[in-house]
Structure 1
Amino acid sequence: MNPALGLAAFAAVSLATVVIGFYGLRISRTTGDFYVASRTVRPWWNASAIGGEYLSAASFLGVAGLVLLSGTDALWFPVGFTAGYLMLLLFVAAPLRRSGAYTIPDFTEARLESRAVRRVTSVVVVLVGWLYIVPQLHGAGLAIRITTGLPAWVGQVAVVAVVCVTVVAGGMRSITFVQAFQYWLKLTALAVPLLFIFFVLAGTGAPAVADAAVNPTGVSPAGPYQSISLFVALLFGTLGLPHVLVRFYTNPDGQSARRTTLIVLGLLSVFYLFPTAYGLTGRMFAPELARSGHADALVLLLPGRIIGGTAGDLLSALVVAGAFAAFLSTTSGLVVSLAGVISQDVLGGSVRGFRLAALVSAIVPLGFAVMTESMALAGTVGLVFAFTASAICPVLLLGIWWRGLTDAGAIAGMVTGGVLCGGAMVAGSLLGAAGTPPWLAQPAAWTVPAAFAVVILVSRATKSRVPRTITRLMTRLHSPERPLATER
């Protein structure tokens, strides 16, 4: 690919992001604007924004890379990512919106009437956010290195700089406009080059893409345990992602939150068709990328390899623009959610505190990203989902649906899930991919049930700590006719 076109694509996306973000600044005036866009975001707009921030480096680059490596075995990722939103629709979206909170720690404190629970939740949310930002920055480094030849840190620093400018300028109001735009850019950036690729292949009489599913690349298929554990991580991990959950606080009411989630399911289903098609096409026409360790670069390289010439360079530039939109949108959503938590718990919850917290939220993971090597993007994000499913999901689900939850049970569950899953992740990184047993490589199948069990057992042992206002709280969460008045 022409490096100048790659740089131009990145510059264009960055400029568009900043311009749209500053448009949001013109109408961001209050604290509510910065934290939850004053709870006025309508379903279609909010759904596009959720699609923009949820479809991360793992979705844009990693899913195609995994399909290239593993064929149809990798379809657990797009299925799991999408099915997680079905869980959100059924169990979380509307009650969470009715909670009236700005952040997940707000919710757990209000539900359990405990500052200790809030502090533990805040620590877990910040850890999850930082763990999730690092793969986005690794993806940006990979994209800038592959397409322009520049060092990886250039892409990482550039993404953080653009995110800081847009988030600090207008908070959630600005980011909503930016992420909605970026979803449609990402979809276009994948769909248009793929259509041209299919036209070229059809004209040359190439084998059908479906045949690529059986084309070997030398990678052993995942076993039943790994597939089940991965699905558990993706299904339950979506419920605890802080940058996704904060989006439901921006809806006007619980009904809008449900409608938003339903639209998101449709948007995600359409999007994931394209990375899957890239992966299957790559198994037929670019299998050497799997053997050379460049599977995550498949989406960036395939248009140039199959189409070539100026047309291939231009289509590759479009893909680069979509890739950087993915890194920017997901990182922006995470920074907004983390800034809300850090600002309210440490800096007093003011707009100035939000802006300072946003800078901290972005710069800390940048340091980790620069100091570490990029791994398989989808696999890394899968571990983040496992951590979220273990540490946040049990408390969130039981807090919404079980009256018997206590503060002691919530703290014990979050600590247990976080320590077990975090320990498995550390052990796996020390042992290396070849020496890590499946139960450590994919820990969610046992860490999630363990966390649920600890929450329930400790809560039942501390029944006296159930809040006295539990009936009023549960009624508030599950009765659309009675909106919560706790607005700040």
Structure 2
Amino acid sequence: MSVVLGVAAIVLVLGATIVVGGMGVRLSRTTGDFFVASRSVRPVWNASAISGEYLSAGTFLGLAGLVLLVGADGFWFPIGYAAGYLLLLLFVAAPLRRSGAYTIPDFIEARLESRAVRRLTSLLVIVIGCLYIVPQLHGASLTLQVVADVPPWVGSIVVAVVVTGLVAAGGMRAITAVQAMHYWVKLIALLVPAVLILIALSGREPSRDPVLAYPVEVGPIATDPYSTTSLMIALLLGTIGLPHVLVRFYTSPDGGSARRTTVLVIGMIGVFYAVSGTMGLIARAAAPDLAQPGLADTVVLALPSRILPGPLGDVVTALVVAGAFAAFLATSSGLVVSLAGVISQDVFDGSVRSFRFSAVLCVLAPLGVALLTGPEALVSSVGTVFLVAATSLTPVILLGVWWRGLTARGSLAGMLVGAVTVGISLLASALLGADAGAIAPLLVQPAAWAIPLVTGVIVLVSRLDKRGAPPRAERYLTRLHLPERQSEQG
């Protein structure tokens, strides 16, 4: 592809991001603006922003690469990602908005009246958020390397600087507009190439080179019934535990708006997944030589110039590059604003100044990790984040919303067991590899047994806790589940 066009596409996205974010910066004044956009984001705008930040590097680059590698089995990932929002709609969206919280630790502390549980929740939120930022920075490095053959650190640095500036300057108010714009940029950046490539390929004979002739090792992905089921459980429940997803529901005006927003999100991300998966299917027919670890994640960048002739291919590739950078910026900014809110409140004084300082810290740590490590399969790395969220935070959040008997000690025990269990499982899987034998699937995909274990620990410890549930638990649950007007009258 043309290096000039590729770099121009990146500069254009960065410029548009700064301009749109700058408009939001001028409106950001209060603490509420920085943390939750003053709870004034309407459903269509909020749904665009949520979809913009949710569709990360793992989706934009990694999903097509995964479908190229494993075929139809790769579609389990987008099914899980999208269906997770159905669970959010049914069980979490409206109650969390009615909680009046700014962050997940806010909600947990208000529900359980425990500073200890809040501190552990904050730690887990920070770990999950940092783990999720690293693949975004890796994706940016990968894209810039393909476009301009620059050192790997350049892409990570560019995204880190822009995200830090936007979040620190305008907080949630600024990035909401940016993320909403990024969703539509990303959709167009894949939809147009997919349509043009399908038109160009119509009438051609597909490549007869077998995809499976290439060595395929894509990390924690397997197609046996247990692994598939466990993966789906992790993706479905992991969505509920992602800090940057949940914080967006706090920006809705009320519980009803939060529900409407979630319905729109399901439709928006479903359309995007269909387009991204189509690019992977096209690649299986048109570019099977890319079905190799390290190359598969570049397939959406490589396809246009392979299929479309001359300048048209260069222009379409530049469009894809623009969409890729929009993905890195949108997801990274959402993660940083959610983490900055937590650190600002739990470590500092919760002011606008501390929020800005926290935003800088939230970028520096993942940037250091990204610079010291190489990109793995992007979808696999993101899947690990969902697994950690599903086992450590999701059971406590769901029980906190729906079970009066939940106690602080039960929550502490459950979160600790979840985090330690997943950590040991993934470490054992990495160390043992093929030597794990029959238990390998249980270690690689532990969600199916780890989540019930964590839930059982929470319930058992809560039942045995002589202090019982907080005295105001019943009143707080009433606030979560009654419509706003009835709650105020009561």
**Which TM-score tier does this pair reach, normalised by the shorter chain?**
over 0.9
- Quick check: 1:470 aligned with 2:473? yes
- Contact persistence 1:67–1:73 (CA under 8 A): yes
Percent of paired sites with the same residue: 58
- Taking a change above 3 Å as real, the CA distance of residues 337 and 483 of structure 1, as seen in their structure-2 partners, is farther
- Quick check: 1:199 aligned with 2:199? yes
Deviation at 1:11, TM superposition (A): 1.1
Which residue number corresponds to residue 167 of structure 1?
167
Give the Cα separation in 2 of the matches to 1:465 and 1:113: 12
- Contact persistence 1:217–1:287 (CA under 8 A): no
Which residue number corresponds to residue 414 of structure 1?
415
Give the Cα separation in 2 of the matches to 1:122 and 1:343: 11
Residue pairs, 1:73-92, within 5 angstroms: 73-92=73-92
More displaced stretch, 340-349 vs 449-458: 449-458
Residue pairs, 1:7-156, within 5 angstroms: 7-156=7-156
- Quick check: 1:459 aligned with 2:466? no
What code does the residue aligned with 1:153 have? W
Give the Cα separation in 2 of the matches to 1:217 and 1:36: 50
Which residue number corresponds to residue 443 of structure 1?
446
TM-score, normalised with respect to structure 2: 0.95
Deviation at 1:215, TM superposition (A): 5.4
Give the Cα separation in 1 of the matches to 2:47 and 2:345: 26
Which residue number corresponds to residue 379 of structure 1?
380
Residue pairs, 1:285-304, within 5 angstroms: 285-291=286-292, 293-304=294-305
Deviation at 1:158, TM superposition (A): 0.4
- Taking a change above 3 Å as real, the CA distance of residues 30 and 376 of structure 1, as seen in their structure-2 partners, is same
What code does the residue aligned with 1:366 have? L
- Quick check: 1:179 aligned with 2:179? yes
What code does the residue aligned with 1:205 have? R
Which residue number corresponds to residue 313 of structure 2?
312
Give the Cα separation in 2 of the matches to 1:423 and 1:292: 25
- Deviations along 1:178-234, one digit per CA (max 9) or x if unpaired, are 0000000000000001111011111x4334x9x99x953554862111111110110
Residue pairs, 1:360-399, within 5 angstroms: 360-399=361-400
- Taking a change above 3 Å as real, the CA distance of residues 430 and 12 of structure 1, as seen in their structure-2 partners, is farther
- Deviations along 1:145-204, one digit per CA (max 9) or x if unpaired, are 1121111110001000010111111000000000000000000000001111011111x4
- Contact persistence 1:51–1:268 (CA under 8 A): yes
- Taking a change above 3 Å as real, the CA distance of residues 315 and 420 of structure 1, as seen in their structure-2 partners, is same
- Quick check: 1:284 aligned with 2:285? yes
Deviation at 1:427, TM superposition (A): 3.0
TM-score, normalised with respect to structure 1: 0.95
- Taking a change above 3 Å as real, the CA distance of residues 432 and 7 of structure 1, as seen in their structure-2 partners, is farther
**Unaligned regions of 5+ residues in structure 1, if any?**
none
Deviation at 1:430, TM superposition (A): 3.7
- Contact persistence 1:99–1:484 (CA under 8 A): no
What code does the residue aligned with 2:79 have? V
**Unaligned regions of 5+ residues in structure 2, if any?**
none
Which residue number corresponds to residue 216 of structure 1?
212
SS in 2 for 1:464: coil
Give the Cα separation in 2 of the matches to 1:216 and 1:329: 34
Give the Cα separation in 2 of the matches to 1:429 and 1:357: 33
Give the Cα separation in 1 of the matches to 2:160 and 2:256: 35
- Contact persistence 1:137–1:156 (CA under 8 A): yes
- Deviations along 1:356-414, one digit per CA (max 9) or x if unpaired, are 00000011000001101110000111111000000000000000000110000001111
- Taking a change above 3 Å as real, the CA distance of residues 470 and 431 of structure 1, as seen in their structure-2 partners, is same
- Deviations along 1:109-134, one digit per CA (max 9) or x if unpaired, are 00000111100100000000001101
- Deviations along 1:249-299, one digit per CA (max 9) or x if unpaired, are 000000000000000001011110111101111111111111363111111
- Contact persistence 1:406–1:459 (CA under 8 A): yes
Give the Cα separation in 2 of the matches to 1:303 and 1:123: 43
Give the Cα separation in 1 of the matches to 2:376 and 2:368: 16
Deviation at 1:423, TM superposition (A): 2.1
SS in 2 for 1:348: coil
- Contact persistence 1:63–1:276 (CA under 8 A): yes
- Quick check: 1:323 aligned with 2:324? yes
- Contact persistence 2:84–2:240 (CA under 8 A): yes
Give the Cα separation in 1 of the matches to 2:486 and 2:152: 48
- Contact persistence 1:23–1:174 (CA under 8 A): yes
Deviation at 1:449, TM superposition (A): 1.4
Deviation at 1:481, TM superposition (A): 3.2
Give the Cα separation in 2 of the matches to 1:484 and 1:99: 11
Give the Cα separation in 2 of the matches to 1:445 and 1:371: 32
SS in 2 for 1:291: coil
- Contact persistence 1:61–1:323 (CA under 8 A): yes
- Contact persistence 1:414–1:451 (CA under 8 A): yes
Give the Cα separation in 2 of the matches to 1:102 and 1:439: 36
- Contact persistence 1:189–1:321 (CA under 8 A): yes
Give the Cα separation in 2 of the matches to 1:351 and 1:439: 45
- Contact persistence 2:134–2:367 (CA under 8 A): yes
- Quick check: 1:241 aligned with 2:246? no
- Deviations along 1:54-99, one digit per CA (max 9) or x if unpaired, are 0001111111111000001111001000000000000000000000
Deviation at 1:432, TM superposition (A): 5.4
SS in 1 for 2:451: helix
Give the Cα separation in 2 of the matches to 1:57 and 1:187: 13
- Counting matched residue pairs gives 481
More displaced stretch, 399-408 vs 308-317: 308-317
Deviation at 1:425, TM superposition (A): 2.5
- Deviations along 1:291-343, one digit per CA (max 9) or x if unpaired, are 36311111111111111311101100000000000000000000000000000
- Contact persistence 1:49–1:179 (CA under 8 A): yes
